[in-house]
């Protein structure tokens, strides 16, 4: 399965200048390879550049030096092939739930009937069937997150970038959404890059975990040993706890 390289970073370097014109180097020389249909997590201390890396892959930011390739193509701008779920509550408050999920399809001029039926399918998949005509203001935080996920999946990207998507949710909702995400991922097998601070989350979801230190170097790539599909028993297993202890060393 893990044969074809999907995303490749070569000598990536990113320099920011602050308002005071101070130079801030995030990546010095980052090299990494992510395989097709792989689920990887990025963990590391705040400010280590995990979000920046996702933004560069999404095409929302450019790197200062080096290059980053997807399917052997240089990434220069955002595209519908890379969907992103943001940390913030990113849905359009002026669109009803169903119109939010349709958004990407509408931008790509898919005809109305087709996009409605695709949107309904994903609405069902995230368990919000009865909420098609609600405005986002009428939804809870967890439900908004489901809409955001459905919105990205409905657009059928082949790479999924998730930037601490569940960071702001309570534990129960978070566990629910992790299960749903795995369920959808199991079905569609999109290459997924997942940024998180939560070790349990990273272990439960990923095939591999990239551990960054505060200088944005990859200090370790952990292969997660659990077989798929994964159920709730994995979350509470002794092995997961062991792995968690091992990862703790880097913090």
Partner 1 sequence: MNIKKGFKLNPIRILGALSLLIIWFIASKIINNGTILPSPIAVINAIPDLATFGGKELGGFEKPSYYGAFIVLSRNSLVTFARLLSGTLIGIFAGVSLALLIWWDETIRRFIEPLILTLRNIPPLALLPLFMIWFGGWELGNILFISSSVGMMIVINSVTAIRNLSPVQIRLAKTLGASRGQILKTVIIPGIIPELAGGVRVVLGMAWAITLGAEFLAVQSGIGRILIFSMNYLATDRMIIILLIFIIYAYLTFIVFSKFVNYFTLWMPERE
Cα angle: 65, vertex 66, 69; to 5 degrees? 135
Placement of tokens 């028993």 in the chain: 233
Q: Among 15-23, 52-60, 181-189, 234-242, which window interacts with partner 1 (CB under 8 A)?
A: 52-60
Minimum distance of partner 1 from residue 90's CB (angstroms): 5
Minimum distance of partner 1 from residue 214's CB (angstroms): 25
Minimum distance of partner 1 from residue 114's CB (angstroms): 16
Structure tokens at 40: 């990887």
CB of 147 closer than 8 Å to CB of 91:
yes
Which member of 16, 92, 171, 251 binds partner 1 (CB under 8 A)? Answer: 92
Structure tokens at 164: 């601490």
Minimum distance of partner 1 from residue 161's CB (angstroms): 8
Calpha distance 195→58 (Å, rounded): 13
Structure tokens at 111: 């005809």
Burial degree of 210 (CB within 10 A; 0-12, 13-18, 19+): buried
Q: Among 20-28, 29-37, 80-88, 207-215, which window interacts with partner 1 (CB under 8 A)?
A: 80-88
What is the x/- site pattern for partner 1, positions 130-149, by CB under 8 A? -----xxx------------
Residues at the site binding partner 1, with contacts judged by CB under 8 A? 58-60, 78-80, 82-84, 86, 88, 90-96, 103-104, 106-108, 135-137, 151-152, 155, 161
């Amino acid at each position: 399965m893990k044969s074809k390289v999907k995303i490749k970073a070569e000598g990536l370097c990113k320099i920011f200048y602050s308002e005071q014109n101070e130079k801030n180097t995030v990546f010095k020389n980052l090299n990494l390879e992510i395989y097709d249909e792989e689920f990887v997590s990025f963990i590391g201390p705040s400010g280590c550049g995990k979000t920046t890396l996702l933004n560069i892959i999404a095409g929302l930011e450019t790197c200062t030096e080096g290059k980053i390739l997807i399917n052997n193509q240089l990434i220069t701008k955002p595209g519908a092939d890379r969907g992103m779920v943001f940390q913030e509550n990113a849905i359009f408050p002026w669109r009803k739930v169903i119109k939010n999920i349709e958004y990407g399809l509408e931008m790509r001029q898919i005809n109305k009937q087709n996009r409605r039926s695709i949107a309904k399918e994903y609405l069902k998949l995230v368990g919000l069937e009865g909420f098609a005509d609600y405005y986002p203001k009428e939804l809870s935080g967890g439900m908004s997150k489901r809409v955001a996920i459905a919105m990205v999946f409905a657009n059928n990207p082949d790479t999924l970038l998730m930037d601490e998507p569940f960071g702001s949710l309570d534990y129960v909702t978070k566990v629910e959404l992790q299960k749903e995400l795995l369920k959808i991922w199991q079905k569609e097998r999109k290459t997924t890059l997942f940024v998180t601070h939560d070790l349990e989350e990273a272990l439960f979801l990923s095939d591999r975990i990239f551990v960054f230190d505060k200088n944005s170097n990859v200090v370790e790539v952990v292969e997660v040993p659990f077989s798929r599909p994964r159920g709730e028993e994995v979350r509470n297993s002794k092995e997961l706890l062991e792995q968690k202890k091992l990862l703790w060393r880097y913090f």
